[in-house]
Amino acid sequence: MINDFDFLQARSLTEALDILSANSDVLAIAGGTNVMVNMKRAPLETECLLDLSKLDELKTISEENNCIRLGAGVTFSHLLNWKPGGVIEDLMQPMCRAFAGPLIRNLATVGGNVCDASAAADLTPVLVALDASVELQSASDGIRTLNLVDFLQGVRKTARRKDELLTAITFSRPDADDCCFYYKLGKRKADAISIVSLAMIVKLEKDKVASSRISLGAVAPVAIRATTAEKILQGAILNDETIRACTEAAISDSSPIDDFRAGGDYRRQMVGVLVEKGLNAINNA
Ligand SMILES: Cc1cc2nc3c(=O)[nH]c(=O)nc-3n(C[C@H](O)[C@H](O)[C@H](O)COP(=O)(O)OP(=O)(O)OC[C@H]3O[C@@H](n4cnc5c(N)ncnc54)[C@H](O)[C@@H]3O)c2cc1C
């Protein structure tokens, strides 16, 4: 049973922020692909939905001085059709293709994916690997920027204040010679929620790893950096021994739960399989 609620449609970002600052009991809705599902499962904990879907200022992707800015209202279909080249495209394209199906991709926004803060969200591991930040805006304080790993505080918990909207996600363009790997393990190839996902960016210099960012999804309350694994890679030659040690470390960096999609032990094993697969792919590229 869906409870009664008011539905406000903002015509500008300023209007949306004013509505949020005047009323603490308002829930933003962008594509609605989480909100609508949730409201069928349990009564809405708000009496008012604020629709952001008409805010064109949130729907742009831009790049300036190698800094990419994804508006919060960019949909996964838009992201799939975006061709930034290099590592960004090589991570975003397979992630978008494995994200839900075309109908959901047409509605689901990047801002909704990040703000929903599901442990199994598919965009966040890619953004963590890109070392992304989020831009939050309120009527009273203007814009503040937080690193994504600080923004994501737990399952369905973020550092967003009730009077703030997430307006954009920003990250630097990786170097042209950086290598990357993405893989989403789900029960099906489409329309499946992640069991484990992996996004990694590795910089090789003269056969040695100069830097790496390894991000894992669905194996902790939020997308995480496998920092022990990254330390093992730092300065090492990417041979079988390093890959084995890095794989073991990535497994210990993860803390998956058992749920109806997969057991924790299986998820841990799959972290090892994916990290090994990714490092071998990068080594043989
Ligand atoms: C059939 C189906 C398949 C799915 N498959 C996948 C999948 O493969 N991978 C995956 O990661 N997810 C999947 N999802 C979940 C969902 O589609 C995504 O999380 C999506 O990105 C949510 O975006 P949205 O715009 O629809 O968010 P909404 O439902 O509109 O909002 C989600 C939350 O974010 C908040 N919010 C939205 N925008 C903002 C903003 N700009 N500022 C502040 N708060 C905001 C809302 O208040 C709400 O709490 C699936 C959902 C369905 C129904």
Is the CB–ligand 1 distance for residue 108 below 6 Å? Answer: yes
Would you say residue 215 lies in a domain? yes
Ligand 1 centre distance from Cα of residue 105 (Å): 10
The pTM (predicted TM-score) of the whole model is: 0.97
* The pair of three-digit structure tokens given for residue 285, joined into one six-digit string: 């590229």
Q: State whether 163 and 220 are in the same domain.
A: no
Task: Quote the ligand 1 centre to 101 CA distance (angstroms).
Answer: 13
Rounded to an integer, what distance in angstroms lies between the CA atom of residue 218 and that of residue 118? 8
Q: What CATH number corresponds to the domain at position 134?
A: 3.30.465.10
State phi, psi for 107 to the nearest 5 degrees: -105, -40
Helix axes 264-283 and 240-253, enclosed angle (nearest 10): 150
Average pLDDT over residues 173-195: 93
Number of domains comprising the chain: 3
Q: What is the CATH number of the domain that holds 204?
A: 3.30.390.50
Please tell me the predicted confidence (pLDDT) of residue 236: 97
Whether pLDDT at 65 is above 80 = yes
- Please report which confidence band the pLDDT of residue 257 belongs to, taking 50, 70 and 90 as the band edges: confident
pLDDT of 165 > 70? The answer is yes
Domain with residue 44: its CATH number is 3.30.43
Query: What is the whole-number distance in angstroms between the Cα of residue 118 and the centre of ligand 1?
Result: 9
Quick one: pLDDT at residue 207? 85
Note the pLDDT of residue 2: 75
Quick one: pLDDT band at residue 40, thresholds 50, 70, 90? confident
Distance CA(226)–CA(253), nearest Å, equals 5
∠ at Cα 285 (268, 122), nearest 5°? 40
Residue among 96, 115, 185, 187 to mutate when testing ligand 1 (max atoms within 8 A of CB): 115
Q: Which residues are 75's β-sheet partners?
A: 109
pLDDT-wise least confident of 184-188, 232-236, 268-272: 184-188
CA distances in angstroms from 54 to 115, 120, 125, 149, listed in the order given: 18, 27, 28, 29
Q: What is the Cα gyration radius of the chain?
A: 19
d(Cα 128, Cα 124) in Å, to the nearest integer?
A: 6
pLDDT tens track for 186-195: 988 788 899 9
**Both structure tokens of 230:** 């990254």
| pLDDT score, position 1 | 65
Q: Ligand 1 centre and the CA of 110: distance in Å?
A: 8
Encode pLDDT of 107-144 as tens digits: 999 999 999 999 999 999 999 999 999 999 999 999 99
Q: Are strands 196-205 and 164-172 parallel, antiparallel or unpaired?
A: unpaired
Whether ligand 1 lies within 6 angstroms of the CB of 113 is answered as: yes
Residue 61: how many CA atoms within 13 Å on its side-chain side?
17
Task: Tell me the residue range of the domain where 275 lies.
Answer: 179-283
Percent of the chain having pLDDT more than 90? 88
Short-list 132, 158, 76, 137, CA closest to 109: 76
Mean pLDDT, residues 88-95: 98
> Rounded to an integer, what distance in angstroms lies between the CA atom of residue 26 and that of residue 46?
6
Percent of the chain predicted with pLDDT > 70: 100
